[in-house]
A and B are shown apart, each in its own frame.
Chain A
Amino acid sequence: MDTLEVKQKLFHKLKIGNFSFVLPAIIIFSLFNVYPLFLILKLSFFEWNGISPLDQAKFIGIKHFIEIFTNDKLWWQSVWHAGIITILALTIQNVLALLLAMAVDRGIRGGNIYRVIFFLPPVLSGIVIGLIWQWIYNGHHGLLNHLFTFLGITRFENMAWLADPDTALYSVAIIHMWRGFGWGFIILLAGLQSIDSQLYEAAEVDGAETWHKFIHITCPLMMPVFILVSILTILGTMQIYDLIVSMTNGGPEYYTEVPITRILASMRGENRFGYACARGLVFGAMLLILSMIQIKVSKHMQKDL
């Protein structure tokens, strides 16, 4: 047997030809996804300014994590801010999305047009949305205050919605919900449409009211979809960034700081790269725990039904 034949046999045995199909994906994935993950893990244990050569970074153990949990008020404030927006989105935005989805579900004229329109805000760049609304919210020449004046409401005259500590965060939250409800709407609508209409028909024959149908048919069948929408809402809202940058940039003072702007601040403003990595890890772990709790809850609830 010559060597060429041996090589060919080995080639077939190890399926190297097949393996080459996944090779590009593996290379790109390892270099730009897996390696960075380990790099963040490593750097979070080092004091490094992000500028000097990496090998000058100083190992400091878990000091960064201790600092985050004991002495980082701004960080937890930023988490709280994102948390407030998330709670609002989970309730107001998703209830609105569900109501709209139920309204459009089956037997309404123009349902498809509404669907196209409601998904328009999610299509637009967060920066564009932020810049439009920043201007609408403007105290002196913003459209919103002009509208109030026009309606004869003088309470908010020259009110700078995004510059006032009392209103800034909620003003951003409203726009975030405006931008996001289309996602929930489309997913919930797809879920509603997969429910067998015979179930509703049978319930109606039995004389069930709309409320009963909602509690006994829609809710249990939609539970997996509800959980999916809430996970997506939590992950999307906690990581809010584009809107903050284009509307308030974290201000006034620190009243609209969110975790991503804080991570960036420790990376660039304070030149504490290792600390930024530690913040990123803590934040990632929090998001992971939140979504795992939701999946557990959904499994538990489905068992009960």
Chain B
Amino acid sequence: MESYSILKKRKNPFVTIGIHFSLILVSITCIFPVAWMISSSLKTQEMIFEDMGLIPKTFEISNYTKALIEGKFGIAFFNSCFYTVTVIIGVVLVSSLAAYAFSRLEFPGKNILFYGFLAYMMLPIPGIFLALYVLVNKLGDLTSFTIDLSFIGLSFLKDPINITIIGINTRLGFIMPQIAMNLSFAIYMLKTFFDKMPPELEEAARIDGCSKFGVYWHVALPLAKSALGVIVIFNALTIWNEFLWANLIFSDISRMPLPVALMKFQGSVVTQYPVLMAGMTITIIPIVILYLCMQKYIIKGITAGAVKG
């Protein structure tokens, strides 16, 4: 069956060739800088200013070991993975519970609360990080305590240990605000999904004696897999690439995620370009792989958003 679009591509072969030519040209500009970065990550510091070729003459794998160990990108890589996974788990659990209740259960204040979440999603608050900084700082004072383990007599425990649960320069200080930021969209997305889902399966499970939570956990959540996929990929992109908030609260290099570590390394006295490029390559590999595996969810999420308008 012939499908019509605005352009009469099928009728004129020259139009088709012209279209492909321009699409390929744009594709090259998308891929080239990345390819060039990877190629530069395999050159030596001396060579990198001389040899501009896309295919490196040497393969300096040592740039990568340098990046991982001396550049501390190994720790940063772990941190980025940790933050991304924990924030996504948090967002998925909290938002799916709420979205399920908004869609299926009755409770006082239901509509007001849901529209509250929606309204917040529409509201641009570019300065929110200022107040978050004050808040997390305050929480740091409230959740700090000192443990004195010197009575055990071990030499490495002789100084009292300061512990802050959530505060500036703590992992939770990054994670919690990020969960909050991404909550509204996930609740909206899942609520519309649950609304469209036929309730018969859940009713059957209820009759069989499943609790409300059991129905949510064993029936509704597994059925919402495609909506959860959309939430996972969009949140992964946001959190993996987040810079502003991470740069504000982390001063301790052992807790920094990759983008912050990159800026820190780039600002050091003598920038070793090949090592920096290796660090940048390490930064993009996981997210590009995830994107390639989950790209159908991106289109699904965008289509859902675009149709809703």
Contacts and interface: CB of A to CB of B under 8 A. Distances in A.
Do A and B interact with each other, yes or no?
A: yes
B183 interface: yes
B61 interface: no
B52 A103 contact: no
A250 B288 CA distance: 29
Contacts of A204: 4, 8
B23 A104 contact: yes
Among B37, B287, B292, which residue has the most Cβ atoms of chain A within 10 A? B37
Contacts of A40: 125, 127-128, 130-131
B302 A186 contact: yes
A145 B7 CA distance: 38
A43 B5 contact: no
A24 B97 contact: yes
Contacts of A19: 101, 107-108
Interface stretch (A69-77, A86-94, A132-140, A162-170): A132-140
Interface in B252-309: 258-259, 262-263, 266, 273, 276, 280, 283-284, 287-288, 291-292, 295, 298-299, 302-303, 305-307, 309
Secondary structure call for the A interface: helix
Interface residues of B, number: 94
A36 B283 contact: no
Contacts of B250: none
Nearest to B216: A21
Interface stretch (B27-35, B67-75, B147-155, B197-205): B27-35
Contact of A146 (B27, B48, B52, B212): B52
A143 B7 CA distance: 37
Contacts of B303: 190, 194
B135 A35 contact: yes
Contacts of B298: 119, 186
Contacts, number: 286
A118 B244 CA distance: 25
Among B30, B106, B122, B259, which residue has the most Cβ atoms of chain A within 10 A? B30
A22 B98 contact: yes
A123 B128 contact: no
Contacts of B241: 124-127, 242
B10 A107 contact: yes
B160 interface: no
Interface residues of A, number: 101
Nearest to A213: B6
Nearest to A16: B107
B108 to A, nearest CB: 7
Interface of B: 2-10, 16, 19-20, 22-23, 26-27, 29-31, 33-34, 36-37, 48-49, 52, 93-95, 97-98, 100-102, 105-108, 113, 117, 120, 122-128, 130-135, 138, 176-177, 179-181, 183-184, 187, 212, 216, 237, 240-241, 243-244, 247, 258-259, 262-263, 266, 273, 276, 280, 283-284, 287-288, 291-292, 295, 298-299, 302-303, 305-307, 309
24 contacts: A19-B101, A24-B98, A25-B183, A26-B98, A28-B180, A29-B180, A32-B181, A36-B125, A36-B132, A102-B5, A107-B4, A118-B27, A119-B295, A119-B298, A143-B36, A186-B302, A190-B299, A242-B259, A245-B243, A246-B263, A246-B266, A276-B130, A287-B126, A288-B123
Interface of A: 14-15, 17-19, 21-22, 24-26, 28-29, 31-37, 39-40, 43, 50, 54, 100, 102-108, 110, 114-129, 131-133, 135-136, 141, 143, 146, 178, 182, 186-187, 190-192, 194, 197-198, 200-201, 204, 210, 213-214, 217-218, 224-225, 227-228, 235, 238-239, 241-242, 245-246, 259-260, 263, 267, 273, 276-277, 279-281, 283-284, 287-288, 291
